């Protein structure tokens, strides 16, 4: 038996780079934590977390899609990022209690730092966010906390964007946060006034499709495409041709993994370990994997 168990809970539980990167970090640090794969439908999430809470051999749990937004009410306590975003991707167990965290938010912050001006006072104040899942919630939470004044959230299912905006109704009282339909004309209008575009929709992960037509992109925009498996996505390439500053999701992913391991073990992993593991998972040369500061 492992000295500590760490289930990844999701449905469907497909193989993702996260599992391989965490395995590499945890095998190096000597913590004895071993990852398990728990495929659980949404109605079985509470039961799975009760098992983790009750078992002294569990160090916590990783929460994967589609459970991130359903997990906060099942926690005994929440970090500030988890509370504000309304999403949990990591549980840490201590004294038969589960504290929920959202390390996706740490990743988003790192992603923004990788493309925006070094002086935070020069950051833009208007943004467009594509997507309305757990990752998009982390994005919006970080934008609110960073002083953005106008954020438009677009999703192909408008009701999901509306639910996201409703969740932030109190936190975002000082700003304009709107759910908008996913139509080319509306995207064009919103992008015309937004200096920053963040793709948290997952569209483009296969490398064959951009979430929005290149003709709708204005020039000189900041674009953070939270796609992992392509150094340059179609969206990034189109923005670059128009003088934009772009980044993929790799630096954000590695920052989130770093914080996840730190929470679970008490020690931050070596960045080069994570970078090498992600390169292996993606089938890329290590130097092709972006980190903050590249």
| CATH code: domain of residue 117 | 3.40.50.720
68 flagged as catalytic: yes
pLDDT above 70 for 294: no
Q: Are residues 265 and 235 in the same domain?
A: no
Helices assigned H by DSSP within the chain:
17-28, 45-54, 80-85, 103-115, 134-145, 158-167, 184-193, 234-241, 250-265, 271-282
Q: Are residues 243 and 118 in the same domain?
A: yes
Q: Are residues 61 and 133 in the same domain?
A: no
Q: Are residues 216 and 132 in the same domain?
A: yes
Q: Are residues 76 and 189 in the same domain?
A: no
The domain spanning residue 72 has which CATH number?
3.40.50.10860
pLDDT 10s digits, 70-115: 999 999 999 999 999 999 999 999 999 999 999 999 999 999 999 9
For residues 202 and 156, what is the distance between their CA atoms, to the nearest angstrom?
Answer: 12
Q: Domain of residue 136: give its range.
A: 105-248
Our count of domains for the chain comes to 2
Q: Are residues 225 and 116 in the same domain?
A: yes
Q: Are residues 265 and 229 in the same domain?
A: no
Q: Are residues 136 and 236 in the same domain?
A: yes
For residues 163 and 158, what is the distance between their CA atoms, to the nearest angstrom?
Answer: 9
Q: Are residues 20 and 135 in the same domain?
A: no
Examine residue 265 and state whether it is found in any structural domain, yes or no.
yes
Share of the chain above pLDDT 90, in %: 86
Q: Are residues 215 and 266 in the same domain?
A: no
Question: Exposed, middle or buried by CB within 10 Å (0-12, 13-18, 19+), for 149?
Answer: middle
Q: Are residues 143 and 235 in the same domain?
A: yes
Mean pLDDT (the chain) is 94
**pLDDT interval class at 1 (50, 70, 90):** very low
Given the residues 68, 70, 120, 122, the one annotated as active site: 68
Examine residue 293 and state whether it is found in any structural domain, yes or no.
no
Closest of 163, 165, 157, 116 to residue 141, by C-alpha: 165
Q: Are residues 219 and 193 in the same domain?
A: yes
For residues 243 and 67, what is the distance between their CA atoms, to the nearest angstrom?
Answer: 38
CA atoms within 13 A on the CB side of 80: 4
Examine residue 213 and state whether it is found in any structural domain, yes or no.
yes
Examine residue 294 and state whether it is found in any structural domain, yes or no.
no
pLDDT 10s digits, 231-263: 999 999 999 999 999 999 999 999 999 999 999
Examine residue 153 and state whether it is found in any structural domain, yes or no.
yes
pLDDT above 60 for 57: yes
């Amino acid at each position: 038996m492992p000295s500590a168990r760490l289930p990844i809970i999701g449905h469907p539980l497909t193989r993702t780079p996260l599992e391989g990167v965490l395995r590499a970090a945890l095998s190096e640090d000597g913590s004895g934590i071993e990852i398990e794969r728990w495929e659980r439908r949404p109605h079985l999430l509470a039961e799975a977390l009760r098992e983790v809470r009750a078992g002294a051999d569990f160090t916590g749990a990783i929460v994967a899609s589609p459970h991130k937004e359903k997990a906060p009410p099942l926690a005994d306590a929440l970090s500030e990022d988890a509370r504000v975003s309304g999403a949990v991707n990591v549980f840490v167990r201590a004294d038969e209690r589960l504290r929920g965290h959202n390390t996706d938010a740490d990743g988003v912050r790192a992603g923004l730092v990788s493309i925006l001006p070094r002086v935070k006072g020069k950051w833009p104040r208007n943004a467009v966010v594509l997507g309305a899942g757990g990752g998009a919630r982390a994005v919006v939470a970080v934008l609110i906390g960073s002083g953005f004044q106008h954020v438009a959230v677009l999703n192909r299912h408008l009701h999901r964007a509306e639910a996201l905006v409703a969740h932030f109704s109190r936190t975002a009282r000082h700003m304009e946060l709107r759910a908008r339909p996913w139509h080319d004309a509306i995207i064009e209008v919103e992008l015309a006034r937004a200096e920053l575009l963040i793709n948290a929709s997952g569209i483009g992960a296969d490398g064959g499709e951009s979430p929005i037509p290149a003709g709708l992109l204005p020039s000189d925009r900041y674009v953070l495409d939270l796609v992992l498996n392509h150094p340059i996505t179609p969206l990034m390439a189109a923005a670059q041709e128009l003088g934009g500053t772009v980044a993929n999701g790799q630096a954000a992913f590695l920052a989130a993994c770093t914080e996840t391991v730190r929470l679970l073990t008490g020690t931050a992993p070596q960045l080069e370990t994570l970078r090498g593991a992600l390169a292996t998972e993606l089938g890329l040369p290590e130097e092709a994997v972006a980190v903050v500061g590249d």
